[in-house]
Amino acid sequence: MKVANNVCSRPVFTSTMTHVYDASGNIINCHYTKINRRDINWGKFPVLLSNRYCKQERVPVNLFGSSDGSDVYTLIINLMKTLGNKAKKFFPILASDISPETVKAANESRILLTAQDLDYIQKMDADRFFERDYNEKVQVMREVKFFPFKVKNELRDKVDFSVQDVRKAVKENNFSDSVFMFRNGWGFNTLEEQNEIAKSLYENSNCKTLVGIGQSNLYKSGASDALQRNNFKGIETDVFTFFETDYPAQYVGTPKTKPVFKEFGFFEKK
């Protein structure tokens, strides 16, 4: 397979992205992320988790396709703000990505923040967790300024970053009594691989497993159908907002037909 790269050399953030294409021009890998992705109501998410796992002393939260950690940090900040000391049962969050370079940057606590990111962080009274890195230059990408920051230990220590391939992890790991988040990465796998991910996840989970996807998965992948086809049921919750917009890019795992099942953002076993 011939692969071409459109590479941003820094940790990928907000309106920046790294794409890898196949010979037909389909996107087969991408790193795109930002703080406070709007398809999740991050303020309500901790309440959902707290109610679902109220009797568990420890709750593993597995977040695949974590990129630079922006989803993870957004979740941790909201868990601490909403649940206080009770949030510790969810830490450390287990975050992973298939890209060694991306994980290396996250492990080194490096992150790029835009003015919009910083406004949200300040609003959440979380600016104490981030320190401007004046040893690095401000990056300008797509006419947006990205300011180099370091994530302080008080926040950074609440997440473990690792390199993992979700296709392998769902076959080898047990996700019973835990949270499984794979947001906006399903479309980088073929439809057959997406079905295998859902099938393996069903075999290695239980009724307490909470599965979460992202809104772009509803446009760029068959994730929602694959999960329901493999005996997961969608959960009606206002935590999944559907606020993010359509994504016109064609990915290697983008279906050619409309969804068969009703679309959801969160799932559990039937």
CA distances to 69, 97, 187, 234, 263 from 7, rounded to whole Å, are 19, 17, 19, 36, 32
User: What is the reported pLDDT for 247?
Assistant: 63
Mean pLDDT confidence for 79-97: 97
What would the pLDDT profile of 123-179 be if each residue is shown by its tens digit? 999 999 999 999 999 988 778 888 999 999 999 999 999 999 999 999 999 999 999
Computed over every residue of the chain, the mean pLDDT equals 88
Q: What is the pTM of this model?
A: 0.88
- Which of 9-13, 22-26, 50-54, 242-246 shows the highest mean pLDDT? 50-54
Return the amino acid letter for 77.
I
Q: Is pLDDT at 205 greater than 60 in this prediction?
A: yes
pLDDT band for position 103 (cuts 50, 70, 90): very high
- CATH topology (fold) of 37-109+152-269: Rossmann fold (3.40.50)
User: What is the reported pLDDT for 20?
Assistant: 52
What would the pLDDT profile of 209-266 be if each residue is shown by its tens digit? 999 999 989 989 999 999 999 999 999 999 999 987 666 667 889 999 999 999 999 9
